[in-house]
Amino acid sequence: EYKRLLLDYNREVRRATNDTMSSLVTAVKKGLAPHLKSLMGPWWFSQFDPAAEVAQAGRRSFEAAFPQSDRRLDALMLCVKETFVYLNENLKLTTQALSDKVTPTDELEDMHHRVISSSLLAMATLIDILLGVKLKSNGGESANTESKSHLKVRSATLSSAEAALSMHKYFIDFLKSKSAAIRSATYTLLTSYIKYVPHVFNEEAMKILSSTILGAFNEKDPLCHSAMWDTILVFSRKFPEAWSYCNIHKVVLNRFWHFLQNGCYGSKQASYPLIVQFLDVIPSEVATEKFAIEFLQNLWAGRNQRQLSAADSLAFFTAFKLSFLWLLKKVPRNSVGDSSDNIHNRLITNVLVKIVWHDYLQLSLSKNLDTIPGLLSEEATTDDHQLSHKSLLVQNVRLPIYYYQDLGKCIVEILDEISVAESHLLEVACESLLRDYLDIVHQGEKLSKFQDHVDQLASFFCSLDLLVVQNGRTWPLENLARPLVIHSLPAIKSMDSPSLVKLLLNLVEIFGPVHLFLKYSEKNDDKSYVEPYLNVFNSDFVPWCLDGKHITCSSKIDLLLSLIQEECFFDQWCLIIKYIIAKQKRSVDDKISHTNDQFELLTLILQKVRERIAGGKLRNLQRSGSLPEHWRHDLLDSVAVSVFCDLPATDSHVHFLCAALGGSSQDDQVCFLSAEAVCKIRESILKSLASVLTTSTFEWTRSAHFLLLPAEHEHLKLLGEQSLLANFEMAQFAFQVFERSLFALRIHEEDSVFSHILAALFIIEWECSMALTLEEENDLEGHKEEIDAETLLCNSSDDRLGATVHLKANLAEHIHAFRQSLIPSFWNDLRSDTLNRLANILAQSVRYSVFDTRDLGIDRTAALCSEWVVDMLRLVCLDHIKLQSFYDILLSEREDWPLWVKPSLQNGHASVKFQCEPLATEETV
């Protein structure tokens, strides 16, 4: 009954049977001994059930009966014959023999497959344990007895194994089963026989088994492939003469080619790592050049069969690399009628380059290895090195990124290996790679995927850097990078392609510009390379990288900065600045309107330098050039200061000044201008903002202007003669610079200019609010005659006034938004003297507006000024001392005491209140 239950279709029944066995042996203990031989066969069989939980239950029951491993081994040795008999009987079972006329046919077939596969695995494991494991001896007086016992067990095992092999005719029929589990188990059993019962494989057995085992590559189920490979490799190593008993090309290689073509029928990760081991066991007379051709052809053809996972890709390219290197080493030795160099060259040129390298570049071949068996023939090795247009057509197959990463690594590692053992082959390979690269550059944008090809080249050099260059090898520089630059730099400069510029930038970052552009240079203490390198830098790169062409401008600036070296930093930076300024002067002299382009270039350069300094990315500059002050230059100061004289100013002027000043945030402390230049720029900003006040019709703004610029009487006259539009353009330009570089302009706030600029912003906004109020309440006709006709924007004075108010409103709106965006900590962090100067100027300006305004009624003026003061005090946080000082100035006594202020007595303390309502009499004090 126990035997029958272990064959049941239901796995729960089989598991419960094993659990019951565990309980039984625990209960009866030594009472099991008389029944052990009859139980051992099914008991051992149950431990190889395909259902994991059933097999585990079987092992638990066995361990429950024999807790120690040596006792379990003794039990097996005692029952070896009975176990073999039981397993042999199982292997003889048919589907019909299992039938009880109730079980469905499909269940019976499944039961039969399970019984056969489990019996085969049980037999294989039994042979491995009893013949493969060296049995221990305890020594002493019992040593001889145990040795005899072990020999008896070994003899019984061998005789039982021989009988089983003969009984089942080498298990050949099981290899023909439609069940993958049975075939896999048969391969496993044959492997055990080959290892531990090799004497059974006589000549007769070789004739039967050689074709079956060596030709097993027609096995298409990946579940069988691990066991299949073990059998093939063990058989070939154990019996190398077996190859002579079969038709190698028809039976073995033909099936092997189909196996490779079909991507190992889905077992890539299991099969690819074993391919080189298979090459090692192939007879030497088989491994010829023709074999190498067909092998590589079929291996490459199967790389993309079925879905390619990342693990599959890695397994394939590892196998390809090892196989290619194996062929380079072994094939010439086994070939006749041709020199090994010619064979090597053909493998390198026509496989590694024309197939593998082209696939990496995403090029399709006019002659493809997958379809042309004679690709490596002499016809395919003509001297026509120029790729045809057709050969550069890109495949329409989009492969995953990891495929190209693994492919690039494969090529790099092959090249690195041959650089050690076969340097002449490295030269052949690198020359071919360079020819392909130059062909791509020559055809350029004619190629639909030109950018993809160049990007792949850049990725390839990154792989070279990671795998080879960083390990101290120099061949990538000498054989690839430097020749590539020498032969393609003129074409790169003429094409002006962003992809090619980035490729050049990658090469510079990997190999260093000095080694890349100076063939025999060595960086040493005498610095003899500096002068020739500066000549190359100045003649070949500065004019090209600063030509201002928008499509490549950013990339070329990156390249130019990467070419700056520590030993000649100051000379190189000076060359760049001088070239840009000279180009700007030529544009002005020739009356060509390209001056702004030079400001854009300077802006882009300074922005990129700022990013590198802030991010610590100046790898080539560790001392000189690592700090902002290293990049300061008198010519840069001069250009920045002169911008305020080059009206009309444009956005490029604003961007340049902000890039030079920095200070867009409190953390941005990178400024490329000297302290003297920053002070001059602050003064220019103040003058430009104050110029707006000269356009006002209100008398009080003149007084406010004098507060801001007390020593600028002549400047005031000059500003009065300028056009209205020019004044507003100057102010708008100055405000944009101040807003975007606030924290840089604040650094030296100990002088009065910074506080005056802040005051000017308040006053401009106040003047605008009064002008808007005047426009709303008064008849405009009475004011038109006061406006100078020369400053009109159009023929109509009404249009002129509307334009003026619009310009003021636009500027005031931006100023207001800027003031509101300043967080309280900004005002709190200002120096005490800065706040005092600001409060004083604003207090006096409010007084001037009250005393000197005649265009509005006193009540409206009082209301406006009250709003200004409240808004200012809400924004600028003054402590009680500064606030008292502010009020002392604001309310200081004068002949015409301000009628909009009235005394107030609260809690015994004198104070004042703002009186916004109209007062009854002017005599009120």
pLDDT value at position 621? 73
Per-residue CA distances from 14 to 60, 92, 182, 297, 819 (Å): 13, 21, 20, 50, 84
Distance CA 797, CA 790 (A): 11
CB 697 within 8 Å of CB 616? no
pLDDT value at position 585? 64
Helix (H) or strand (E) holding 911: strand 909-914
pLDDT higher than threshold 50 for residue 755: yes
pLDDT higher than threshold 60 for residue 681: yes
% of the chain at pLDDT higher than 70: 83
Tokens of 274: 């074993």
Mean pLDDT for 7-34 is 90
* Backbone conformation region of residue 756, classed left if phi is above 0, alpha if psi is from -120 to 50, else beta: alpha
pLDDT value at position 471? 92
CB atoms within 10 A of CB 770: 25
pLDDT higher than threshold 50 for residue 394: no
Mean pLDDT for 243-254 is 94
SS3 of 286-342 = CCCHHHHHHHHHHHHHCCCCCCCCHHHHHHHHHHHHHHHHHHHHHHHHHCCCCCHHH
Predicted confidence band at 374 (pLDDT cuts at 50, 70, 90)?
very low
pLDDT value at position 907? 57
Distance CA 389, CA 587 (A): 42
Spell out the residues 6+ positions from residue 224 whose beta carbon is closer than 8 angstroms to its own: 180, 183, 184, 187
pLDDT value at position 629? 87
Mean pLDDT for 595-605 is 81
pLDDT higher than threshold 70 for residue 588: no
Check residues 96 and 117 and name the one with the higher pLDDT: 117
Q: Tens digit of pLDDT for each residue in 481-538?
A: 999 999 999 999 988 889 999 999 999 999 999 999 987 655 555 577 889 999 999 9
Mean pLDDT for 462-469 is 95
pLDDT higher than threshold 60 for residue 60: yes
Q: State the DSSP string of 495-548.
A: HT-HHHHHHHHHHHHHH-HHHHH-TT----TT-TTHHHHHHHIIIIIHHHHTS-
Mean pLDDT for 395-405 is 79
Give 906's strand partners.
Answer: 909
Distance CA 754, CA 771 (A): 26
pLDDT value at position 829? 86
Q: Tens digit of pLDDT for each residue in 273-322?
A: 999 999 999 998 998 889 999 999 999 999 876 678 999 999 999 999 99
pLDDT value at position 586? 58
Residue 229: which of 173, 203, 268, 202 has the closest Cα?
268
912 in helix, strand or coil?
Answer: strand
Helix (H) or strand (E) holding 804: helix 797-821
Per-residue DSSP letter, 632? -
901 in helix, strand or coil?
Answer: strand
SS3 of 698-727 = CCHHHHHHHHHCCCCHHHHHHHHHCCHHHH
Residue 913, classified by CB atoms within 10 Å of its CB into exposed (0-12), middle (13-18) or buried (19+), is exposed
Report the amino acid identity of residue 591.
Answer: K
Query: What CA dihedral angle connects 391, 396, 399 and 401, to 10 degrees?
Result: 70
Question: In this predicted structure, which of 155-159, 325-329, 574-578, 803-807 has the lowest mean pLDDT?
Answer: 803-807
pLDDT value at position 135? 53
CB 855 within 8 Å of CB 778? yes
pTM, two decimal places: 0.79
pLDDT value at position 528? 79
Q: Tens digit of pLDDT for each residue in 30-57?
A: 888 888 999 999 999 999 999 999 999 9
Distance CA 230, CA 227 (A): 5
Mean pLDDT for 542-547 is 90
Distance CA 334, CA 284 (A): 6
CB 349 within 8 Å of CB 428? yes
Report the amino acid identity of residue 98.
Answer: L
pLDDT value at position 729? 85
Q: Tens digit of pLDDT for each residue in 773-808?
A: 887 775 444 444 444 434 433 344 445 456 667 778
Q: Tens digit of pLDDT for each residue in 113-168?
A: 999 999 999 999 999 999 987 655 445 555 566 577 888 889 999 999 999 999 99
Question: In this predicted structure, which of 142-156, 342-356, 763-777, 844-858 has the lowest mean pLDDT?
Answer: 142-156
Mean pLDDT for 177-188 is 96
pLDDT higher than threshold 90 for residue 233: yes
Residue 745: which of 635, 666, 833, 652 has the closest Cα?
666
Tokens of 469: 């260059």
Residue 195, classified by CB atoms within 10 Å of its CB into exposed (0-12), middle (13-18) or buried (19+), is middle
Length of the chain: 925
* Apex 802 CA angle, 797 and 804, nearest 5: 95
Q: Tens digit of pLDDT for each residue in 189-227?
A: 999 999 999 999 999 999 999 999 999 999 999 999 999
pLDDT value at position 740? 93
pLDDT higher than threshold 90 for residue 178: yes
pLDDT value at position 455? 92
pLDDT value at position 723? 67
Report the amino acid identity of residue 101.
Answer: K
Per-residue DSSP letter, 662? -
pLDDT value at position 254? 96
CB 742 within 8 Å of CB 663? yes
Q: What is the mean pLDDT of the chain?
A: 83
Tokens of 458: 């850049």
pLDDT value at position 475? 95
Mean pLDDT for 404-427 is 93
Mean pLDDT for 241-259 is 95
Per-residue CA distances from 616 to 568, 620, 622, 700, 788 (Å): 20, 11, 9, 52, 56
R_g of the chain computed on alpha carbons: 46
Residue 332: which of 368, 299, 291, 282 has the closest Cα?
291
Phi, psi dihedrals of residue 554, rounded to the nearest 5°? -65, -45
CB 688 within 8 Å of CB 644? yes
Distance CA 192, CA 183 (A): 14
Q: State the DSSP string of 370-399.
A: TT-TTTTSGGGG-S--SPPTGGGPPPS---
Mean pLDDT for 258-284 is 95
Q: How far is CA 731 from the centre of its chain?
A: 45
Phi, psi dihedrals of residue 912, rounded to the nearest 5°? -130, 160
pLDDT higher than threshold 80 for residue 846: yes
Question: In this predicted structure, which of 85-99, 456-470, 603-617, 717-731 has the lowest mean pLDDT?
Answer: 717-731
910 in helix, strand or coil?
Answer: strand
